[in-house]
Amino acid sequence: MKVNLFLRTVALVSLVFFASCRKDDDNNPSSPTTGPFVAKVDGKQFATDNNSAKAKFVSSTKMLQIIGQTADQTETIHFELLPFGGSVSTAADWLPGTYDFNPVHISNLEYSASAMFTKYENSEYINWNTKWEYVQNGEIKIESNTGTHIKGTFSFDVVKQNSNGTFDATNIKKVTEGSFDLDIVQY
């Protein structure tokens, strides 16, 4: 009787243990829904390699770049802010706020915001870019920035750029539900 009860207990504990260790899509580390860099491309979770996610501040141009990439390097989300005028000297000068992709900010000598999604298909890298004539949706929101760590959200539409430099207005990707929470590397 004691052996039978013992075996049932071991079986039940094993069942509970293995059931709790079960992998499912919601807990799959290759498709995180939280982390230092998260996004969806056309509604599908972007499988960020957390070791490849980077925030960079380029001292010579005062540009802020945020990059997320898959572990196999076949997909990349990249966006950047480039200042005009003297309002940005250090990484910390990219103040919390919303930066949209409207080219009026270039005309007003404020900043330029741009984004790109790249995917390796059929032995070549295909680029989708922000191009105001085709897609007007996009923004980067900086929630906090200490100069060494930055946190925020992003979403944008990008249009396919053909190999000859023209754009395919029928091929648009939607990057949504994006967030970043990254240390800033200075270059």
- Quickly list DSSP for 80-98: EEEE-TTS-SSGGGS-SEE
Q: Nearest 5°: phi and psi at 22?
A: -60, 135
What is the tens place of the pLDDT at every residue in 100-154?
999 999 999 999 999 999 999 888 999 999 999 999 999 999 999 999 999 999 9
Query: Of the candidates 91, 79, 57, 76, which has an alpha carbon nearest to the alpha carbon of residue 138?
Result: 79
Asked whether the beta carbons of 156 and 172 are under 8 A apart, the reply is: no
Percent of the chain with pLDDT over 70: 82
Q: Is the dihedral of CA 122, 127, 128, 133 positive or negative?
A: negative
What tens digit of pLDDT does each residue of 161-182 get?
Answer: 999 999 999 999 999 999 999 9
pLDDT score at 31 = 42
Is residue 173 within 8 A of residue 116, CB to CB? The reply is no
pLDDT, tens digit (0-9, with 9 covering 90-100), for 42-73? 999 999 999 999 999 999 999 999 999 999 99
